[in-house]
Structure 1
Amino acid sequence: MKYLFLFLVIAVCGCQSGPQARLNGKFGQGIKSKFIEVKMPNSHRDSVLFTIPMKDDGSFSWTGSLPEGTMLVLDLYKDYISIPWYAESQNYTLEKSGENYYLVSSLEESLQNRFTKFRKEQDQRETAYNMECRGYETITDMEEKVRFSDRMGKIFDENQEYLLSGIRQFAGTQIGDFLADEKLYHWEVDYAGFTKVMEILNGQMAETPMKNRLTTAYAKLKAKQLTGMAPDFELPDMKGKLVRLSSFRGKYVLVDFWASWCVSCRQNNRELFKYYPELKAAGLEIISVSLDDDRALWIKAVEADKITWTQLIDPKGFKASELRKSYKFDSLPTVYLIDPQGNIVAKKPTLEQLREILTDC
């Protein structure tokens, strides 16, 4: 990383005779920063490539040379403003839309302008989502929480699909790498989503710290995934009868780890309830394993969610569960699909994936 940083510094400071990039604009009132720090994405303040001074009225102007197609960020750290910039030898002007600032190129069909168009939509989606999320903590009724979570989950999934469309659109440029790297905190807990991202970017990422962060994080997450034979277990059902996972050999089994206090789990129960007749007819068995500490709350939730498939409970609860460690998960719900031979096929499979696998079996 330090060599790339030095390369960019040398390029910025020593190549003023080549094609020029020009930046100019004016920030609104109330800006605290006196200069703009130009950095690589997600880098520390000690990795500033160069600074652009601002006048008292918030205006600025800069002209210089940069390696073509470099993803940079204009950072006003005192104002918590960060503006991504796909630097090429073009003229760029600052533009404000809503509460956010963007860079617009004088070349209408430039990658920066395509990126800015995408970015505006992305920001609008995230702002709307965050506004919708307000008030969730004040909801006390579990049924209302489930309905609220279901609605927000659908919006979140739509936003994620939009982000993936952007990564796909800009794959092969540092914009695509940036869009993926910017949401690394999310991909680190979503292996299926992270896998989609890496498949899109496969072999197309530039040699930058963004690539290093993404590939390193994905390798670590991949190493944590449960593969091979599913760990066997024997747990009591609602009547106290012990049920062993291996007794279901010869069938596809969906093992669903959940708890009554987990809103997403309750939402998942309702989804499974809707499609259970179809999945059962296709040959799928479902085993839900509760990690509740309170047996009474577990039974109450099963009855409320109208669950008719096999229900088991781990008496040790979530924190002390050895089964949770064996199945390598730290959050709920966690769902695994196991094939007739007892092997892990998929983690958190979608309904479409289940249908496809069961149709082919």
Structure 2
Amino acid sequence: MKSCADPDVGARYSASGAALDLAIQKQVNKKRVSNCKKGLIKHSFSKKLENMLPRNVRMKKGMKKAMKKAMKKAMMAGILLTVGAACNTSEGYQITGTLPEIENGTQIELTGIDTNGQDSLLVAGVVTDGNFEIPVTGQCTMACLRIPEVLPRIPFFFEPGIHSYKLEVDAEGSMQVKGGALQEIWNAYSARNKAFDQEKKKIETAYREAAKRDDLFGKMHHWAIYEDLKTAQEQYEDSLLRQNDNIVAATLVWLRSRELAAARKIGEKVALLGPNALQTPPGQAVKRMAEAMSCTENGNIAPDFTQNDPDGNPVSLYGIQAKVKVLDFWASWCGPCRAETPNVRRIYDKYKDKGLEIISVSLDTKRENWLQTIETDKMEWIHTSDLKGWDNAVARMYGVRSVPAIYVLDAENRIVGQNLRGQKLEDTIRMLLNE
């Protein structure tokens, strides 16, 4: 671990310490949103918790919010889900469970990976008198169990010969499925990863305190420790991927695929997977993503495509004549995309007569939303979509896992920049236009 006496710390901090400043500020400003869906908890359970609070506390203004938080914690601590799986893979599985204090009709979902590597609903069951059943037909090796807006998705690995699994939820809301060797590998990873995250939060707190004191030396010290923790966490994950040639390693990369794709690191992680891991559904999904992204690195020629515009006319990337092209993946439901639109519109108006063209590929599924947003936001450039959402053919070709995603191309369709925003986007365009 680096200390504050490390002679390289000052240079390292001055080069990129601002990144931690930004990360800390984002965390400070981040709002905590309750995951408990209104109406899911039975009224009797709610009243029971309210009665546990002192009368003078219950009467104080604003205590409903505190009670709701306490109610969620108590609910999470009380859940004990037992899952039984019939192991005849030709017939499938029957998953049963008990969820006390959950309202009748609450949906329990089992999600998996579709042919395009996206999270998709496999089957769902509903809670009836605190119990539920989920029939899973056919062969299944991995799925994620979740209750929308209450419990996040939890990886669930089916193994031959394992007839029962148990989902345990502790008082902090941490969850893990127990049962089977693969599940234990995942649980060990989750526990170690959680420990790293907790240590990083402690350092973030210490960093904030140093910042309040305007203690540059203290900030440098805590930043160096934070970076060392990040490195150790990354090395631990890489070691796990190398040592486990199975579906657990592939699932880990798949669950992190959007984050890794945004950082252009998914290829590095896929390279660590063994042949057996790559043959699993999540392994095949991340392999396709990595292959797509390798074709869209800076310096490569952007893949050509043809997709229809709003009038049904085919638009070809290579058929568009321009000195600079901005390929913009977006959607009408994407807040950050629309927040950037005024800047993109300003740049387009400024340089459209000098050789700039913009091609916006929408990941919408509803035509009316797509067209209405184009009109409302005055996006007066080229648009295409096949209205297939994340299954958009061009998005899949480019390995897009999050929006907005922007590629800047030169006159030869060579990729010269990615995910540029604001002034950086304009500066790159101006440079290519020799303005």
- Relative to the length of structure 2, the TM-score reads 0.40
- Relative to the length of structure 1, the TM-score reads 0.47
